[in-house]
Structures are given as structure tokens and as C-alpha cells.
Amino acid sequence: MPRPESRPGTLRTATGNRPVHTLRHRSLKVAIWRNETDKGPMFNVNIVRSWRDKESGEWKDTQSIGYDDLMNVAALMYEAHAFISSLLAKNAESRARSSRQ
């Protein structure tokens, strides 16, 4: 059975969009999505926990997070925040360069 991160179709929308970045820790997966708006890029974060169904053996995702995973979720959210912050800084730097030219 494939591991959760290698399952086909994982982390795609109906239109085929993919996240700009994915973070993983054990059974937890964080997807960072970028959406362009009139005011610049906006980022959203989704977190899921993968688990294997005992009857079918298939991997499934849930948004329910147990007590034992809470600190791991916090660490992943911190990493996601740092990643998005770096993207926003690069975007601001790029806009500043464009306006000087």
C-alpha cells in the first residue's frame, strides 16, 4: 500500500491546482496554497492527518487532530508561517525593484 504522501491525486483541487509548498511530519501534512488577489498574493494553509482504514487498508485523510499531535501541528504551523513570510518578503522586494525601473 502506498504511503500517504505518494498517493495519486493527493493535495490537488478539482481544477488540478497544486500547493506552492507541502510540509510533513509523520502522519501530518500541511499544504500551503497561493491565491492571487487585487492586493497581491494571499496564502491559505490546510492541515490533514493521514490514517489507514483497518478494513480496506486504504489511506485516508482527516482534519481531526488528536492530543498527541498538537505540538507537531504547532511546529508545522510555525514552519508554514516562516515559509509564507519569506515568500511575502520576496514579493515585496520584487515589487520595489519593479517600481524603481
Q: What is the pTM of this model?
A: 0.77
SS3 69: helix
What are the structural domain ranges in the chain? 4-96
The predicted pLDDT at position 35 comes to: 93
The predicted pLDDT at position 3 comes to: 43
The predicted pLDDT at position 7 comes to: 44
Ordered per-residue pLDDT tens for the chain, 101 residues: 344 444 434 555 556 689 999 999 999 999 999 999 998 889 999 999 999 999 999 999 999 999 999 999 999 999 999 999 999 999 888 888 877 77
The predicted pLDDT at position 13 comes to: 54
Nearest one of 14, 32, 15 to 23, comparing CA atoms = 32
SS3 77: helix
CA–CA dist 61, 79 (Å, integer): 21
